């Protein structure tokens, strides 16, 4: 029966992470998967999250199904975090299984109602974008995004490609902390892009998985809020995995803006239909934790302060690594560490060097050359810098 089934080639991120776990070397360093680790090399349990969990544990309750759309308080808080105050009545928001679940439900919704559209993702992008949209039945193409020469966004090429798309096509945009490059548009560039989206009647689908990791909660949501203010119809997949360090609880949200409350209600109904066909309703625990934090003034302030500390640490690690690399290889181009932001940077190292880093030095990066700086401790900076310089100069 199953003889024709082919072996799974593995996932470039998750399979490598499993390979790292199985690596017996004591001094191995995992800079592959997008997970924030503190300086002790552990996923932090944020104080605000722990406090919310203690509160929840004080009342032991049964475990009913959540509604298809998830917890109302979670949905409300999630919308506010992404869009700010106002406009609520024209935004349909549902709780999802992480950012991936939001992308999947959004993709199914779009395929049902825009069956002819094609989906365009940045080149490069998070690998799973192609998997999720392709899996939902879309033809997926790419638009130029990254300039290795400047380590920034190839904005003119990006705009030119988007200008050439047919009306109604869907473009996937990273709202902040682009994965995998860490190269983001400036606010002025977002404004220019909004004009093109309006002129060409494109449908933007924002992915915001790192809100608060770039410049701040409000700053990182700039593009989404600006596009929404311009009344551009849009979708957003948001995730709490990283900014609440609540990876395994699978907490995300999908937002779709309608033109008014009536349209938003219809969209909301269709999103629930898409959820029902995927997993019926989301899990409750993580959603309750997040709603508890975001609804409580004191816990929310604590969470924001902890998130700020994580962001500051990532920036600090970037400058420490930059300084060490520059000191050891003054002619090397390590500007990417200073220009790019968020968890990731794009090293531009060829695959052969990435493999050597892994095999000879126990330093794991994914083969695209993406490095997760959020997983590097200050003690790890020196060995990583030494290993990188060694593979670059051998």
Residues known to be catalytic: 126, 207, 242
Told to check if 126 binds ligand LMR by CB under 6 A, we report yes
CA distances from 311 to 168, 190, 341, 387 (A): 36, 22, 10, 25
Told to check if 119 binds ligand LMR by CB under 6 A, we report no
Told to check if 101 binds ligand LMR by CB under 6 A, we report no
Told to check if 385 binds ligand LMR by CB under 6 A, we report no
For the bound state, the minimum distance from the C-beta of residue 241 to ligand LMR, rounded and expressed in Å, comes to 7
Residue among 83 and 126 whose Cβ is closer to ligand LMR? 126
For the bound state, the minimum distance from the C-beta of residue 79 to ligand LMR, rounded and expressed in Å, comes to 22
Told to check if 43 binds ligand LMR by CB under 6 A, we report no
Half-sphere exposure (Cβ direction) of 313: Cα atoms closer than 13 Å: 20
Contacts of 215 (CB under 8 A, 6+ apart): 176, 341
Told to check if 155 binds ligand LMR by CB under 6 A, we report no
Closest residue by beta carbon to ligand LMR: 34
Looking up tokens 């290795």 gives 148
For the bound state, the minimum distance from the C-beta of residue 343 to ligand LMR, rounded and expressed in Å, comes to 8
Residue among 70 and 252 whose Cβ is closer to ligand LMR? 252
- Please select the residue that binds ligand LMR; options are 77, 179, 238, 347, rule is CB under 6 A: 179
Told to check if 33 binds ligand LMR by CB under 6 A, we report yes
Residue among 169 and 184 whose Cβ is closer to ligand LMR? 184
**Positions in the binding site for ligand LMR (CB under 6 A):** 13, 33-34, 126, 128, 179
């Amino acid at each position: 029966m199953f003889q024709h089934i082919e072996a799974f080639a593995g996932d470039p991120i998750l399979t490598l992470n499993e390979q790292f776990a199985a690596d017996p070397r004591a001094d191995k360093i995992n800079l592959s998967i997008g997970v924030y680790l503190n300086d002790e090399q552990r996923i932090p349990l944020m104080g605000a999250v722990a406090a919310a969990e203690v509160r929840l544990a004080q009342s032991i309750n049964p475990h009913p199904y959540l509604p298809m759309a998830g917890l109302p308080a979670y949905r409300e808080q999630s919308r506010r975090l992404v869009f700010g105050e106002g406009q609520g009545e024209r935004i349909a928001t549902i709780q999802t299984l992480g950012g991936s679940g939001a992308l999947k439900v959004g993709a199914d919704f779009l395929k049902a109602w825009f069956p002819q559209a094609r989906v365009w993702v940045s080149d490069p992008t998070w690998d799973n974008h192609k998997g999720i949209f392709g899996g939902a039945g879309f033809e997926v193409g790419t638009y130029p995004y990254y300039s290795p020469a400047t380590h920034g966004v190839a904005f003119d090429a990006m705009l030119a490609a988007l200008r050439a798309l047919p009306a109604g096509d869907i473009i996937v945009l990273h709202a902040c902390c682009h994965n995998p490059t860490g190269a983001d548009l400036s606010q002025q560039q977002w404004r220019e892009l909004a004009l093109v989206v309006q002129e060409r009647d494109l449908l933007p689908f924002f992915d915001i998985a790192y809100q608060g990791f770039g410049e701040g909660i409000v700053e990182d949501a700039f593009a989404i809020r600006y596009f929404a203010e311009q009344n551009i119809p849009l979708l957003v997949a948001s995730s709490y995995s990283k900014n609440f360090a609540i990876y395994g609880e699978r907490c995300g949200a999908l937002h779709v803006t309608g033109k008014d409350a009536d349209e938003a209600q219809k969209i909301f109904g269709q999103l629930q239909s898409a959820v029902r066909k995927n997993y019926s309703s989301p899990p409750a625990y993580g959603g309750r934790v997040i709603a508890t934090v975001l609804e409580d003034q004191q816990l929310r302030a604590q969470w924001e302060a902890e998130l700020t500390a994580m962001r500051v640490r990532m920036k600090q690690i970037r400058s420490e690594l930059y300084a060490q690399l520059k000191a050891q290889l003054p002619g090397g181009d390590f500007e990417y560490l200073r220009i790019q932001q968020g968890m990731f940077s794009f090293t531009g190292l060829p695959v052969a060097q990435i493999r050597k880093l892994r095999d000879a030095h126990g330093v794991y990066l994914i083969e695209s050359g993406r490095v997760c700086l959020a997983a590097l401790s200050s003690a790890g900076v020196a060995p990583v810098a030494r290993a990188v310089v060694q593979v670059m100069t051998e």
